[in-house]
């Protein structure tokens, strides 16, 4: 239903009647007049950050290796003191293609916000000018009035139509788009955190498999010596050929493990190339050989509540909840009448000389009123849909927080228990080396049989591989912990320059993006989530 009228001189009484008229639509919708005023003359719920289930302290908080001091972990990988890892981190941050894709999504969200902001202002504006040559039929009375069969018409003018934001429809849309932009920035930062963690994990695994291959080669060399001894004893008639065959079998089995480990090292090499955004190549030419990365025995974790402000995926989920809440307001505004002001003005004349005269001017302006009364439940159910999306976003936010805490605990227990396991295995390796060396000497002297030598050499290989695996677990645990703590995204603010983002032919760095909102984590659980809309 559209009602239009010519706008006359406004009177204060009319303004008062319009304000009083707000009570009727507000009583029909799902926002009270008090809430409407309190929310800044906007319908729909006012957003408050949802509470989140956060532990007061870590499970292993009593362990002296865990420090509760605050640290943003912006360059946590430097704790490994490995220049090759530092180089790979910067290279990945500058070249990863998935990160570039996320950067373009941020630019898209920023452009969308600009579009939504533009909708707040007059939604339709135009300026026109034209010249028309008319030809009239002999049956038209105007032909006699004009006095000629053909005549020109010159005109130019402008006009606009503006739907006034009485109910906050466009302001809520701006809130939603702004929250979506924040969420896209947090998504970029989260991808950066994941990328840096993946690079470190893949580098650790590559070094681990290289180390496994070196261990197998070292034990194989030891077994070659045993084979040489067995062959010499066989030629001297001191033992049977069984010892020679057994020694050869042990050697071949160990040597067979070397290409197995080399294959896995190459797979991690290729994965690293993918993370670096380059075609597969042999990174050993760049990196050379190296041990499994190791750091100190301590880790700085802060307190669990800091995860709410530090982890980008937590902030992203919270911003998505804010976006969903604002969308409820947008949907709710459709339950109320739409009030617009439209008008146009211009000049028109039959000849160009009179086009600029006062007599050629004409125009109109006035309000219009539109209310979707007969919508068969579509609008109410759309509000319910947005409210359900909001409740789902709150649940997702809380789940992300719970998952974040669990991931930190997983990394910590892997790091701490891995250290304890590695310490015991170091003792086991030293004992196994000593036992294998003594057994080999005893076999050479003929005081033990070859079975003892074979068994101890097999145990030596097993203990050394287990130690390497424990060292990898310690490094993996530390990487997992820092990754779960949300460290590393700050690299786009300082340090290494992340992937540039191309915008309209120029380069815009992700460091130009807005910094994430960092509210006091202690206030995270204070506000309660908005009540569901009740259409």
Residues of the chain with pLDDT > 90, as a percent, come to 51
Task: Give the number of other CB atoms < 10 A from CB of residue 128.
Answer: 11
Burial class (CB in 10 A: 0-12, 13-18, 19+), 247: buried
Flag the least confident range among 295-299, 415-419, 426-430: 295-299
Least confident of 70-79, 454-463, 464-473: 70-79
- Across residues 3-9, what is the average pLDDT? 36
Whether residue 170 is contained in a domain is answered as: yes
Q: Residue 510 domain-assigned?
A: yes
C-beta of residue 361 within 8 angstroms of C-beta of residue 296: no
**Whether residue 354 sits in one domain with residue 266:** no
Out of 370, 394, 418, a domain closes at 370
Instruction: Report the C-alpha gap between 469 and 308 in whole angstroms.
Output: 33
Note whether 9 and 84 are same-domain residues: no
Residue 144 is part of a domain; what is its CATH number? Answer: 2.20.200
Domain presence at residue 187: yes
- Determine the structural domain holding residue 225 and report its residue range: 31-61+73-120+165-336+371-523
Q: Is residue 321 part of a domain?
A: yes
Q: Is the pLDDT of residue 6 over 50?
A: no
Kindly state whether residues 430 and 465 are assigned to the same domain: yes
Q: Give the end of a domain, one of 348, 370, 392.
A: 370
Query: Quick one: which of 168, 184, 182 has its CA closest to 46?
Result: 168
The per-residue pLDDT of the chain, averaged, comes to 83
Residues 387 and 255 in one domain: yes
State yes or no: pLDDT of 467 exceeds 90.
yes
- We report the CATH number of the domain holding residue 56 as 1.20.1600.10
Strand pairing category for 150-163 and 501-503: unpaired
In a domain, 488, yes or no: yes
pLDDT mean over 167-181: 93
Residue 405 has pLDDT above 70, yes or no: yes
Per-residue pLDDT at 7 exceeds 70: no
User: pLDDT at position 141, please?
Assistant: 54
Give the tens place of pLDDT for each residue, 213-259: 999 999 999 999 999 999 999 998 888 899 999 999 999 999 999 99
Q: How is residue 216 annotated by DSSP?
A: H
Same domain, 77 and 153: no
CB 186 within 8 A of CB 516: yes
**pTM for the full model?**
0.80
Q: Do the domain assignments include residue 380?
A: yes
Q: Which residue has the tokens 């955190």?
A: 193
Considering its fold, how many domains does the chain have in total? Answer: 2
Q: How far apart are CA 69 and CA 190, in angstroms?
A: 23
Same domain for 138 and 97, yes or no, is no
3-state helix, strand, coil in the chain (%, to 5): 60, 10, 30
* Predicted confidence band of residue 398 (pLDDT cuts 50, 70, 90): very high
- Same domain? 291 vs 248: yes
Tens of pLDDT along 126-143? 888 888 877 666 665 555
296-340: pLDDT as tens digits: 888 888 888 888 888 999 999 999 999 999 999 999 999 999 888
Same domain, yes or no: 417 and 281: yes
pLDDT band for position 23 (cuts 50, 70, 90) = very low
Residue 1: its pLDDT value, please?
A: 33
Domain contains 356: yes
Is the pLDDT confidence value at 69 over 50? yes
When pLDDT is cut at 50, 70 and 90, the band that residue 477 belongs to is: very high
Least confident of 418-427, 441-450, 523-532: 523-532
Beta bridge partner(s), residue 158: 127, 345
pLDDT of res. 34: 80
Say whether both 21 and 101 belong to one domain: no
Whether residue 528 is contained in a domain is answered as no
Banded model confidence at residue 284, pLDDT cuts 50, 70, 90: confident
Q: Find out whether 338 and 89 touch, Cβ atoms under 8 Å.
A: no
Q: Is 173 in contact with 330 (CB distance < 8 Å)?
A: yes
Residues 363 and 383 in one domain: no
For residues 402 and 423, state if they share a domain.
Answer: yes
Backbone angles phi, psi at 374, to 5 degrees: -95, 90
SS3 150: strand
For the ranges 23-27, 34-38, 336-340, 444-448, which has the lowest average pLDDT? 23-27
**Residue 364 shares a structural domain with residue 494:** no
Find all residues with CB under 8 Å of 272, minimum gap 6, and list them. Answer: 88, 199, 202, 203, 206, 283
């Amino acid at each position: 239903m559209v009602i239009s009228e010519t706008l006359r001189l406004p009177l204060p009484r009319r303004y008062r009647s319009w304000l009083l008229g707000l009570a009727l639509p507000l009583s029909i919708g799902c926002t009270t007049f008090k809430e409407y005023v309190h929310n800044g003359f906007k319908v729909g719920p006012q957003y408050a950050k949802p509470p989140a289930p956060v532990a007061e302290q870590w499970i292993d908080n009593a362990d002296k290796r865990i420090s509760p001091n605050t640290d943003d972990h912006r360059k946590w990988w430097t704790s490994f003191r490995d220049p090759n890892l530092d180089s790979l981190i910067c290279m990945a941050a500058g070249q990863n293609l998935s990160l570039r894709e996320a950067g373009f999504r941020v630019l898209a969200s920023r452009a969308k916000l600009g579009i939504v902001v533009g909708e707040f202002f007059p939604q339709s504006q135009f300026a026109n000018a034209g010249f028309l040559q008319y030809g009239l039929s002999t049956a038209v009375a105007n032909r006699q009035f004009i006095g000629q069969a053909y005549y020109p018409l010159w005109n130019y003018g402008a006009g606009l139509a503006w739907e006034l934001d009485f109910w906050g429809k466009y302001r809520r849309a701006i809130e939603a788009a702004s929250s979506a932009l924040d969420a896209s920035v947090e998504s970029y930062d989260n991808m950066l955190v994941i990328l840096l963690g993946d690079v470190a994990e893949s580098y650790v695994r590559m070094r681990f498999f290289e180390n496994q291959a070196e261990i197998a080669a070292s034990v194989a060399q030891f077994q070659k010596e045993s084979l040489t001894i067995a062959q010499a004893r066989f030629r001297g008639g001191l033992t049977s050929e069984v010892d020679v065959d057994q020694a050869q079998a042990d050697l071949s089995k160990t040597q067979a493990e070397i290409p197995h480990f080399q294959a896995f090292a190459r797979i991690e090499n290729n994965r690293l190339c993918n993370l670096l955004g380059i075609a597969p190549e042999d990174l050993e030419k760049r990196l050379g050989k190296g041990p499994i990365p190791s750091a100190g025995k301590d880790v700085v974790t802060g307190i669990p509540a800091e995860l709410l402000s530090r982890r980008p995926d937590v902030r992203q989920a919270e911003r998505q909840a804010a976006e969903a809440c604002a969308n409820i307001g947008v949907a709710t505004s459709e339950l109320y009448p739409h009030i617009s002001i439209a008008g146009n003005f211009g000049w028109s004349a039959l000849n160009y000389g009179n086009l600029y005269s006062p007599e050629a001017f004409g125009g109109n302006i006035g309000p219009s009123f539109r209310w979707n009364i007969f919508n068969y439940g579509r609008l109410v159910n759309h509000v319910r849909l947005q409210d359900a999306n909001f409740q789902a976003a709150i649940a997702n936010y809380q789940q992300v927080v719970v998952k974040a805490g669990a991931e930190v605990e997983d990394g910590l227990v892997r790091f701490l228990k891995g250290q304890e396991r590695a310490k015991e295995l170091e003792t086991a390796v030293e004992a196994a080396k000593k036992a294998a060396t003594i057994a080999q000497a005893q076999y050479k002297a003929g005081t033990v049989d070859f079975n003892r030598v074979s068994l101890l050499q097999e145990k030596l290989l097993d203990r050394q591989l287990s130690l390497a695996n424990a060292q990898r677990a310690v490094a993996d645990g530390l990487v997992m912990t820092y990754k779960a703590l949300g460290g590393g995204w700050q690299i786009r603010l300082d340090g290494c320059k992340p992937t540039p983002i191309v915008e309209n032919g120029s380069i815009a760095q992700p460091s130009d993006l807005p910094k994430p909102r960092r509210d006091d984590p202690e206030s995270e659980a204070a506000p309660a989530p908005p009540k569901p809309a009740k259409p």
